[in-house]
Amino acid sequence: MILTVAAAVFVFGLLVLVHEFGHFITAKLTGMRVDEFAIGFGPKLVSFKRGETVYSIRAIPLGGFNDIAGMDPAENTAGERGYCEKPVLSRMIVILAGSMMNFVLPVVLFFGIFSTIGIPTHAKDPVLAAITENSPAQSAGLLAGDKILSIDGKKIDTWDDFTGYMKSVEPEQKIVLQYERNGVTEETSLVPEYSEKQQKALIGVQSKIDYVPQSLADSARLAATRTGEILTMMVLMIAEIFKAPAQADLAGPIGIAQMAGQVAESGFVPLLNFAALLSLNLGIVNLLPVPALDGGHFVGLVLEAVRGKPLGTKATMYTQRLGIGLLLALTLFATKNDIVRVFFR
């Protein structure tokens, strides 16, 4: 429980810090007055003032905000330094900067991992590093640390030999595994589960992972490539969700916190990878053209640029209410999924 809370606070805190820093630094650079830069919501735990800005950490670590003067034109006390008085382009930059920082963070995290620890690769030896719960391998009595010696009498020398043989296994085909445990040769049999998605038989095991450090140049290139691949995959996944929203298995704060705790049990590097994935997801979602999200604000700014004047007060109020309503409904749906996932599965 403590690990789950610590992992969740770390991940949420990192993502919010990076996102809000994007808004903060661009607001400062474009001459806007920022009255407060806050991580979290609710009562202040720690706060201090530097110049005209109060920096604070608040009790609920599920978000954050920048109090930029002039976000509401009717309450602008900063004159020309108010958000509402700045050119449309400056306001667009500030609005988009949060999500842009969420896209930059994974590149930085992947670069740090690749350049210091390395690229994860399957170890050469056919040694089992982990057994999936309720899998054929677990039912057959296999344990982490077992070394596969043969399958159906075919000698297995490397992990590639193992995966290569498993690709040839037919659905519902029983196989016999010979393995070594603590210097003793043992044997077991099982029926793999055939995955239509992966087009191969699976028994529920994972290989040992070795890390191969990369040069700084290769790390930068691989980090950008990895981020781009994941970003493309996530955009396609979100598009699928919009096609069939009723089938979407969305996770809210509870579910994300639980996943962070589970990932943290595997180590700090997997937690950084998880933070990178979540950062990309946050960046994409925030750019959706939904009122109350950054994407919705950006659409409003585009309309203002086209019309030559901002939307009226009533139109802005109604669109904001619509956006908040949609976000609340989505949050309730995701929380329902979290409760079912955590307590009833």
Contact criterion met (CB below 8 Å) for 87 and 97: no
213 Cβ contact partners less than 8 Å away, ≥ 6 residues apart: 114, 115, 116, 117, 118
- Sign of the Cα pseudo-torsion (280, 284, 287, 291, in order): negative
DSSP 127: B
The maximal CA–CA distance of the chain, rounded, in angstroms, is 81
Q: At what angle do helices 268-286 and 88-116 cross, to 10 degrees?
A: 160
Cα–Cα distance measured from residue 263 to residue 10, given in angstroms and rounded to the nearest whole number: 12
Rounded CA-CA distance 259/44 in Å is 27
Using DSSP, state whether 309 is helix, strand or coil.
coil
How far apart CA 32 and CA 215 sit, in angstroms, is 40
Burial of 314 (0-12, 13-18, 19+ CB in 10 A): exposed
219 contact partners, CB below 8 Å, separation of at least 6: 110, 111, 114, 115
Distance CA 244, CA 229 (A): 23
Angle (CA) 294-230-117 rounded to 5° is: 115
Query: Which residues in the chain belong to E strands, given as ranges?
Result: 34-50, 53-68, 119-122, 128-131, 147-151, 154-155, 175-181, 184-190, 193-195, 200-202, 205-207, 209-212
Give the catalytic positions in this structure: 20
What residue has token string 């842009």?
Answer: 100
* Distance between CA atoms of residues 101 and 293, nearest Å: 15
